[in-house]
C-alpha cells in the first residue's frame, strides 16, 4: 500500500469513528495541508466512498455499510477460520444446509468451497439469506438465495418474504451465528427479524450448529432465538475459559471447543 493509499485509509478510518469531519480537521489529524485534504476528499468522493456536504465530509451510505461488514469480518480471524473448517467437515453428500449472514458463516461457506474442490463433495444444496455468501459458492453447488428486504449493514435479506420462503424447504443441517451466547438467555442477536428467521430454521432442521468464537460467550444482545433445546452443538475456539465451558455443559448445552493446532486454515 502506497503512502497516499495509507493516508486515504486513515482518513476513512477517522470518518468511521467521528461520523463527519471538515477539511481543516482532516488536515490537522493527517498532518497535511488543507489543499491536499480537499484533493483527497474529492478523489474519494469520485470513488463513491465519501460524500461532501456543506458541513464537511462523511462516509457514503453504501461504503459505510460495506466497511462495517468488513471490519467485523477481520475480528478473531484465526478462530473463525478454525470454526469454519471444522463445521465444513460435517457436510455430507446430499445435505441441504442453511447458512445465515454472519461473518463466521461467510468463512464457513469458503471452507465448504475448499471441501468441494479438494474432495469432490457432491449433491450439496445451500440455502442462505446472505448477500455475501452466495457469490463465492454458487459456481460449486446449487445455491438458493432467499428473497426479502435488503439490509446492506448486515449484507442480508429479511422480512416476511424470507420467512415464508424458508418454510418451504426441509434442511438437514443448519449453521447459524450469533451476536451473543449466554448461559441463561441462550443465543442472541441484535434484531428481531434475524431472530425470527433463525428460529424458523432451527425448528425445522435435523441438526443445528451455532458457530460462535469465544468472545461471544456470557454476553447478551437484544433478543434470544435458541437455547439448549434446539441446538445440536455450539462450536467455538480454544480461548473459551474452562469455567464458561463447564457452566454451559451444566446448563445442558453440547459444546465443541476446538484445539488450536487442529483444524487450522488450509
Q: Write the pLDDT tens digit of every residue in 187-227.
A: 999 889 999 999 999 999 999 999 999 999 999 988 999 99
Domain region containing 42: 3-59
Per-residue pLDDT tens for 18-60? 667 888 888 887 889 989 988 998 998 888 888 887 768 887 7
Q: Is residue 233 part of a domain?
A: yes
Side-chain-side CA neighbours of residue 236 (13 Å)? 23
Q: Are residues 12 and 91 located together in one domain of the fold?
A: no
Q: Are residues 21 and 99 located together in one domain of the fold?
A: no
DSSP 135-182: HHHTTTSEEEE--SEEETTTTEEESHHHHHHHTT---SEEEE--SEEE
Q: Across the chain, what does the average pLDDT equal? A: 87
Q: Which of 150, 148, 167, 168 is nearest to 159 (CA)?
A: 148
Q: Is residue 67 part of a domain?
A: no
For 26-72, list the strands marked E by DSSP.
50-53, 56-59
Here the CATH number for the domain that contains residue 188 is: 3.40.50.1360
* Residue 164 confidence (pLDDT): 96
Q: Are residues 105 and 197 located together in one domain of the fold?
A: yes
- What strands, in cross-sheet order, belong to the sheet with 50-53? 20-21, 56-59, 50-53
pLDDT exceeds cutoff 60 at 13: yes
Report residue 126 as a C-alpha cell.
445451500
Beta 173-176 vs 96-99: how paired, if at all? parallel
CA angle 150/153/159 to nearest 5° reads: 35
pLDDT exceeds cutoff 50 at 262: no
Identify the residue with better confidence: 262 or 128.
Answer: 128
Q: Which of 84, 77, 71, 87 is nearest to 16 (CA)?
A: 71
Identify the residue with better confidence: 61 or 243.
Answer: 243
Reported confidence tier of residue 243, pLDDT bands at 50, 70, 90: very high
Per-residue pLDDT tens for 55-99? 688 877 666 555 555 555 556 778 988 999 999 999 999 999 999
* Residue 184 confidence (pLDDT): 95
pLDDT exceeds cutoff 60 at 100: yes
Q: Is residue 70 part of a domain?
A: no
C-alpha span between 61 and 58 (Å, rounded): 9
Q: Are residues 197 and 121 located together in one domain of the fold?
A: yes
Q: Are residues 109 and 238 located together in one domain of the fold?
A: yes
Q: Which of 219, 236, 207, 237 is nearest to 183 (CA)?
A: 219
Quote the number of domains for the chain: 2
Q: Are residues 37 and 90 located together in one domain of the fold?
A: no
Q: Are residues 198 and 111 located together in one domain of the fold?
A: yes
- Global pTM exceeds 0.75: no
Report residue 167 as a C-alpha cell.
418454510
Q: Are residues 91 and 36 located together in one domain of the fold?
A: no
Here the CATH number for the domain that contains residue 44 is: 1.10.10
Q: Are residues 233 and 143 located together in one domain of the fold?
A: yes
* Residue 144 confidence (pLDDT): 96
Q: Are residues 95 and 53 located together in one domain of the fold?
A: no
* Residue 63 confidence (pLDDT): 60
Q: Are residues 88 and 49 located together in one domain of the fold?
A: no
Amino acid at each position: 500500500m502506497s503512502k497516499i493509499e495509507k493516508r486515504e485509509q486513515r482518513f476513512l478510518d477517522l470518518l468511521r469513528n467521528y461520523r463527519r469531519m471538515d477539511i481543516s480537521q482532516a488536515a490537522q489529524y493527517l498532518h497535511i495541508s488543507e489543499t491536499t485534504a480537499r484533493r483527497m476528499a474529492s478523489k474519494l468522493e469520485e470513488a463513491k466512498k465519501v460524500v461532501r456536504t456543506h458541513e464537511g465530509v462523511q462516509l457514503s451510505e453504501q461504503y459505510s455499510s460495506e466497511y462495517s461488514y468488513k471490519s467485523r469480518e477481520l475480528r478473531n480471524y484465526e478462530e473463525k477460520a478454525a470454526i469454519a473448517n471444522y463445521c465444513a467437515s460435517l457436510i455430507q453428500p446430499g445435505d441441504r444446509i442453511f447458512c445465515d449472514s454472519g461473518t463466521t458463516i461467510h468463512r464457513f461457506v469458503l471452507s465448504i468451497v475448499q471441501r468441494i474442490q479438494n474432495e469432490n463433495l457432491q449433491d450439496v444444496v445451500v440455502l442462505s439469506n446472505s448477500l455475501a455468501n452466495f457469490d463465492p459458492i454458487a459456481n460449486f453447488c446449487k445455491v438458493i438465495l432467499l428473497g426479502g428486504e435488503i439490509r446492506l449493514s448486515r449484507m442480508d435479506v429479511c422480512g416476511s418474504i424470507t420467512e415464508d420462503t424458508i418454510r418451504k424447504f426441509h434442511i438437514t443441517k443448519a449453521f447459524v451465528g450469533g451476536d451473543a451466547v449466554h448461559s441463561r438467555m441462550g443465543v442472541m442477536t441484535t434484531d428481531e427479524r434475524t431472530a425470527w428467521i433463525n428460529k424458523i430454521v432451527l425448528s425445522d432442521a435435523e441438526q443445528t450448529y451455532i458457530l460462535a468464537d469465544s468472545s461471544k460467550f456470557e454476553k447478551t444482545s437484544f433478543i434470544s432465538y435458541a437455547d439448549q433445546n434446539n441446538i445440536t452443538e455450539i462450536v467455538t475456539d480454544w480461548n473459551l475459559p474452562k469455567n464458561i465451558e463447564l457452566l454451559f455443559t451444566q446448563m445442558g448445552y453440547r459444546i465443541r471447543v476446538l484445539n488450536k493446532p487442529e483444524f487450522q486454515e488450509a
